[in-house]
Amino acid sequence: MTDSDRLKREVLAAVRDQFARVDEISELNTRKVLDAMRDCRVSAAHFTPTTGYAYGDIGRETLDKLYAGVFGAERALVRTQFVSGTHALATVLFGLLRPGDELISLTGAPYDTMQTVIGHAQPSKGSLKEFGVGYNELPLLNGRVDVDGIKQILSSRTKMVLIQRSRGYSMREPLSIDDIELICRTVKKINANIVTFVDNCYGEFVETREPIEVGADVIAGSLIKNIGGGLAPTGGYIVGRGDVVEQASYRLTAPGMGDELGATLCDGRLLYQGLFMAPHVTAQALKSAIFAAALFSRLGYRTSPSVEAPRGDIIQAIELGTAEKLIAFCRAIQSNSPVDSYAAPEPWDMPGYDDQVIMAAGTFVQGASIELSADGPMREPYAVYLQGGLTFEHSMTALMRTVEEIQSEARR
C-alpha cells in the first residue's frame, strides 16, 4: 500500500460518522422530492419543450407546483429565463421594493454580486439605490447574526430583510435552519409586515428542512447549484408566499403577464430529473467537502468548517498559507476535471474584486458550482474555497492528486 492509499483510508475512516449523517439527510430529502413528484403526477408529457408565449405550458406549470411542494411553499417561479442566481434574487428585490422602502441585510455584507444589485457599497448602474430604495446592514457579531441587534436596525421604512444562508466567499459560518428560524421569528415579532427573504444559494438539501418551513416568506437561488442536481443547464427559482412570488413574477416578465407565459426552451426532463437527483448530488458535494476538511486538517491546514462542525452549505474553505500553494491547488483541481483538464488557471483581475482571483472550473455546465470547483482571492491567508462534486469518487480522486501536487510544490 502506498503512503497515499494509507492516508486516504485513514481519512475515510475518520469521516465515517459524518458520512452516515449525510446519507440520512439525503434519504429524507429524496423522499420529500419523490413524494412531491407523486403529488404532482409528473409524467413524460411535462418534459416537452414549448415555443412562443407558451400559454398553458403544463411542464412549466407543474414544475412550479413541484418546487412549491418540495419547499413547503404556496407558490414558485422556476425558469430558465433567470440567467443566474443573482437575477432571481434581484427579481425579488425589484419586484417588491418601492422608492422610499428600505432593505436591511441581517447577515452583514451580502454576496459580492448582490452588493452591486443593491448599489450602496459602491454606485452601480440600475441598482436599487438608483430607484430610491434605502439600505442598511447589521454587522455580524463574532461571525454570527446579532439577533439582539435586529430590533435597533429595523426602521418604520423597513420593507424587507435579506438573510444569506451560505457563507458565500467569506470565512463566516453559514446559517443553520435553526438560526434562520430564530431570525425570522425575531423579525416577525417586531413587525409582522416585514418580508423575510432568504438567499438560499448553496443551502438546498444540506439540512432536512428549508427556510420557508421555518418562517421565511420567500427564498431564491440558482439552478446550477445544489437544486439543479448537476443536470439543469441554466436558470433560477423563487419560492414562497403566494402574493410575494406573484409580485416578483411581474418583474421577471411584465405587469399583467407574470408567470403565465415563458417558453421552456430546454429539455424539461433536465429540470425535473435534476431536482430528483439534487438530494443525492448535494450529498456527494457534502462528502467531498467533509473529506477535504479531514484530509487537509490531517496535513496541518486550518479548515472552515472543521470536520465535525455541522454544515449549512456545500462550501469548504482551506487556508493554504501561500500564493504558490493556492495556485497549485486550483491547477490540480482543474487538471483533474472532466472538461478542460488541459487548461491551467491563472490569477486574474475579476470585475468587482479588489484582489486577483484564481478559479478552477472544469465543468460540463459553464460556471456550475455544484460541479467540483475551487477558487480563492490572492491574499492572506490564501484560502481556497472548494465546492461541489457530482460524484464523491471524482472529488476524492481529484483531492488526493491535489495533495500530491501541493506537497511537491512545498518541497520545491
CB 145 → ligand PLP: shortest distance, Å? 15
CB 141 → ligand PLP: shortest distance, Å? 20
Residue 104's CB is within 10 A of a number of other CB atoms, namely 22
- Could you say which residues in the range 215-234 bind ligand PLP, by CB under 6 A? 222
CB 316 → ligand PLP: shortest distance, Å? 14
User: Is 166 an interacting residue with respect to ligand PLP (CB under 6 A)?
Assistant: yes
User: Is 164 an interacting residue with respect to ligand PLP (CB under 6 A)?
Assistant: yes
User: Is 262 an interacting residue with respect to ligand PLP (CB under 6 A)?
Assistant: no
Contact 235, 82 (CB under 8 A): yes
User: What cell was used for 402?
Assistant: 491535489
Residue number with CB closer to ligand PLP (62 or 304): 304
Q: Give the binding-site size for ligand PLP (rule: CB under 6 A).
A: 14
**Beta pairing, strands 236-240 & 302-304:** unpaired
- Residue 291 identity: F
CB 117 → ligand PLP: shortest distance, Å? 10
Residue among 39, 35, 42 nearest 272 (CA): 42
**DSSP states of 272-338 as a string?**
HHHHHHHHHHHHHHHHHHHHHHHHHHHTT-EEES-SSS--SSS-EEEE--SHHHHHHHHHHHHHTSS
Here's the x/- map for ligand PLP, 119-158, by CB under 6 A: it reads as ----------------------------------------
CB 232 → ligand PLP: shortest distance, Å? 12
Q: How far is CA 221 from the centre of its chain?
A: 7
Residues 6+ apart with CB under 8 A from 98: 133, 159
**DSSP states of 295-311 as a string?**
HHHHTT-EEES-SSS--
Here's the x/- map for ligand PLP, 60-99, by CB under 6 A: it reads as ------------------------xxx--x----------
Q: State whether residue 388 is helix, strand or coil.
A: coil
Q: Is the peptide bond before 279 cis (omega within 30 degrees of 0)?
A: no
From CA 4, how far away is CA 305, in angstroms rounded?
A: 24
Stretch that binds ligand PLP, among 144-152, 164-172, 327-335, 377-385 (CB under 6 A): 164-172
28, 54, 113, 131: which one binds ligand PLP (CB under 6 A): 113
CB 89 → ligand PLP: shortest distance, Å? 6
Residue with the CB atom nearest ligand PLP in the bound state: 85
User: Is 199 an interacting residue with respect to ligand PLP (CB under 6 A)?
Assistant: yes
User: Is 111 an interacting residue with respect to ligand PLP (CB under 6 A)?
Assistant: yes
CB 369 → ligand PLP: shortest distance, Å? 7
User: Is 102 an interacting residue with respect to ligand PLP (CB under 6 A)?
Assistant: no
Residues 6+ apart with CB under 8 A from 26: 205, 279, 280, 282, 283
Stretch that binds ligand PLP, among 198-206, 293-301, 326-334, 343-351 (CB under 6 A): 198-206
40, 177, 198, 201: which one binds ligand PLP (CB under 6 A): 201
Residue number with CB closer to ligand PLP (164 or 249): 164
Stretch that binds ligand PLP, among 110-118, 204-212, 378-386, 401-409 (CB under 6 A): 110-118
Could you give the dihedral angle defined by the CA atoms of residues 317, 323, 328 and 329, in that order, rounded to the nearest 10 degrees? 0
Please report, for residues 18, 86, 228, the alpha-carbon distance to residue 5 in angstroms, rounded to integers and kept in the order given.
Answer: 21, 41, 33
From CA 398, how far away is CA 390, in angstroms rounded?
A: 12
User: Is 170 an interacting residue with respect to ligand PLP (CB under 6 A)?
Assistant: no
**Applying CB under 6 A, which residues contact ligand PLP?**
84-86, 89, 111, 113-114, 164, 166, 168, 199, 201-202, 222
